[in-house]
A and B are shown apart, each in its own frame.
Chain A
Amino acid sequence: MAVKILIPTPLRPYVDGRDTLELEGASVGELLERLAGEHTALKQHLFAADGRLRSFVNVYVNDRDIRRLEHQETRVSPGDTVSIIPSIAGGTGGAVADQRPKLSHEEILRYSRHLILPDVGVEGQKKLKAARVLLVGAGGLGSPAALYLAAAGVGTLGLVDFDVVDKTNLQRQILHGTSAVGTPKLESARARIQDLNPNVQVETFETRLTSENALDIIREFDVVADGTDNFPTRYLVNDACVLLGKPNVYGSIFRFEGQASVFYAKEGPCYRCLYAEPPPAGLVPSCAEGGVLGVLPGIIGSIQAMETIKLIVGAGEPLIGRLLLFDALKLQFRELKLEKDPDCPVCGRNPTVTQLIDYEAFCGIGAEPVYDGADVTADEVQDELDAGKELVLLDVRDPHEYEITHIDGAKFIPLGELPARLNELDDHADVVTYCHHGARSLKALEILKAAGFAKVRSLRGGIDAWAVNVEREMPRY
C-alpha cells in the first residue's frame, strides 16, 4: 500500500490534472523527490534553486506540519496522507530581502539579554524595532508601560496625553519627576524615554483622544496599550481598535485591585464583550476620588508592557480571551475566561456600532442633574463667615480623608451614613456641603434637598479649592 499525496489546485496542471497521487517512499523527502522526478515541471515550484523546499510550500503528514515533526526526514508509512498546502505571501515593494530594520552594534550590545533568549533573538528584536506602539495616557499605567517598552527597544512609541504633571501624580507615575511638576506630561515623558533609550522614536499627541481623532491616530500603530482612567475613553479606544483591527492591551486599577487583558476582536473578545455598557456615571470612583496604591499601576502597567512585547514578538500565549484579576492585599492573581459575545454591538456577527459614537453621552456623562445656584465658591463661603453668617459646613468625605485635613468647626458625616443621620442636622440651617473635589458633595446636596432641607449649597471644588483659596496653610492631597 502506498502513501497518498494530496495536490493543491495550483499544482494539478503539472500532474495531469489529478488531485491525488499514490507513491511509495519511507520519508517525506523521498516522496517529494520521487514526485518531482516523475513530474519534472513541478520541481521548480516546490524547490528553490539551492534544492531546499520553498518557504511557502507546507507539507503535512496526516494533520501535522512536518516543521513540527522532522522536516523532510519525517517518516511515512503506507496509508498515511501527505498534503501539500500553500501559504500565500506577497505585497508591494520591490525588495525580496528582509524588510526588517538592522540592529546597530550599540543595539546588539544593549539588547544582548534579549538576543540570547530563544523566543526573542535577533528576529524578535528586529520586530520590536519595527513595531509602533501607542500608549493612551502617560499616567499611572502608561508610565511603567512606556519605560519597559522603551527599554525593550520598541522602535516607535506614540503617547496621547494632554495633562500637566501634578504633585499628586508622583506617588505612582514614575515617568515624571519632581522637577517636572507644572509641565506637560508629554514633555517629561519624552525626556525620560530619550534618556533611557535614544533609539526610540517618540511621537506625541497632546490632545484628548476623541471620536474625531481616534481613528487617525490609532491607524498608524500596530498595538495599543490602554492606560486611560475613564470609561468614555476606554470604550472609545476599544471601538476604534475593533474597527481598525488592532489589538488593545487593556489594564485598569482601583485602590488595591487591578485587571488586565488583551482585547483583539480578530482572535477573541473585545472590551464590550466583557462590559457591554458602562456603569452608571459616578458609580465607580476614579483614582482621584477612590485612591490607589502607588505600586499597583507598576504591576498592571508592566503586565501591559509584557503582553505588548509578546504580541509583537509572537512568543508565548497572549492574554486574549482571559481576564487577569490582581488583588494586592491578598497578593493573588486570578484568571477568568472571556468568551466572544456573538451579539457584541461592535465585534459581533451583526454589529450595530460601525463607526465611532459620542462616548461621553454613551457613558451618561453630561447627563447629571445641574443645580443652578446650588454651589458656592470657597471665597464666598469665607466672606459669609467673616460677615457673621451662621453656616453649617458639612464634610461628607470618608474618615481617612477627614484625618488628613478638615475645615475647623465642620460637621462630619460620611456620604454613606448621611441618609441615616439626617436627624443630626437642623433642616432650617444654612448648610454648605463639601468633599474632596465637589462631586460627592453634590450627591449629599441631592439627599438633603430630597429630605426637605431648604438652604443647601455645595462647595465648588471641595476642600481642595478651600486649601488653594482660603486656608493656604492647609495640606492638599
Chain B
Amino acid sequence: MTLVLDPRHAAAIGRHGEADYPAEACGLIGGAIEGDRKIAVQLVPLANGRTDSARNRYLIDPESFRRAQERLDRDGLEVIGVYHSHPDHPPAPSAFDREHAWPWLSYAIVAVAQGRAGELKSWVLADDRGAFDEEAITIEERKAVWQ
C-alpha cells in the first residue's frame, strides 16, 4: 500500500518533531482507504506518554488511542498510521519499534537532527513480524474535503 500525505501533513509532522526535540514527538494519522492507498485526512498529535525517557522512547497509551479513535470515528475516519520522530537518528525503525509494532498501520518516522526536521519515511510491519518494510509515501494535495 501507499501512504498518501498532503504537503501540510508532512510539514506538520516535521514541525511537531522540531517542537518536541530533543524528545520524541508522536501522533496518530487518521484517514481512509481507497484501493491500495491509505489517504491521510487528519493528524492527531499526542503527548508522549514516556516522561522518563522521552529522548528515545514514545508511548501512545490506550486511553489516548481510544479517545483519538472515537474522535476520528465521528468524522468517518480510522487510524491508518502512527507518526513519530527520531531525534538525531535516521528515520528507520529500531528493533524496539518492531518489537512493539502493530501490523497494517503505517509507521511514519521523521528524522530530527539538531532540532531540524529532515527526511520522512514510512514503514509497515511484515506479516511475520520479522521485519519492517519501507512503504511508499505519496505527497499530493488533497482535493476532496471529507469533513
Contact = CB atoms under 8 A, between A and B. Distances in A.
Q: Name, among B28, B52, B69, B87, the residue most crowded by chain A CB atoms within 10 Å (CB to CB).
A: B52
A389 B36 CA distance: 98
A363 to B, nearest CB: 27
A245 B24 CA distance: 12
Given A13-B104, A44-B129, A92-B89, A266 B65 contact: no
Nearest to A126: B52
Interface residues of B, number: 45
Contacts of A219: 22
B93 to A, nearest CB: 7
Contacts of B60: 86-89
B56 A86 contact: no
B34 interface: no
B113 interface: no
Given A10-B102, A85-B66, A90-B107, A95 B96 contact: yes
B53 A90 contact: no
B100 interface: yes
Contacts of B28: 88
Given A87-B59, A88-B60, A266-B47, A10 B20 contact: no
A245 B20 contact: yes
Given A9-B104, A85-B62, A90 B97 contact: yes
Interface string A296-324: 00000000000000011000000000000
28 contacts: A9-B80, A10-B102, A11-B104, A12-B104, A44-B129, A45-B129, A56-B102, A60-B66, A85-B62, A85-B66, A86-B60, A88-B65, A88-B82, A90-B107, A91-B24, A91-B53, A91-B57, A92-B24, A93-B56, A93-B94, A94-B95, A94-B96, A95-B96, A96-B95, A99-B57, A130-B52, A222-B51, A311-B51
A8 B69 CA distance: 9
B121 interface: no
Contact of A99 (B56, B65, B107, B129): B56
B100 A90 contact: yes
A397 interface: no
Contacts of A169: none
Interface in B36-94: 47, 50-53, 56-62, 65-66, 69, 78-80, 82, 84, 86-87, 89, 93-94
B5 to A, nearest CB: 17
Given A91-B96, A93-B94, A95-B95, A86 B58 contact: no
B7 interface: no
Contacts of A427: none
A163 interface: no
Contacts of B50: 89, 91
Contacts of B78: 9
Contact of A130 (B53, B95, B102): B53
Contacts of B94: 90-94
B56 A91 contact: yes
B61 A87 contact: yes
B103 A92 contact: no
A187 to B, nearest CB: 30
Contacts of A41: 127
A313 to B, nearest CB: 10
A127 B79 CA distance: 32
Interface in A220-244: 222
Given A13-B103, A130-B52, A219-B22, A91 B80 contact: no
A45 B97 contact: no
Given A10-B102, A131-B52, 20 more contacts: A10-B105, A13-B103, A14-B103, A56-B102, A60-B66, A85-B65, A86-B65, A87-B59, A88-B28, A88-B59, A89-B58, A89-B96, A90-B94, A90-B101, A90-B107, A92-B87, A92-B89, A92-B96, A93-B94, A99-B57
Closest 5 CB pairs of A and B: A90-B97, A91-B57, A58-B62, A10-B102, A92-B89
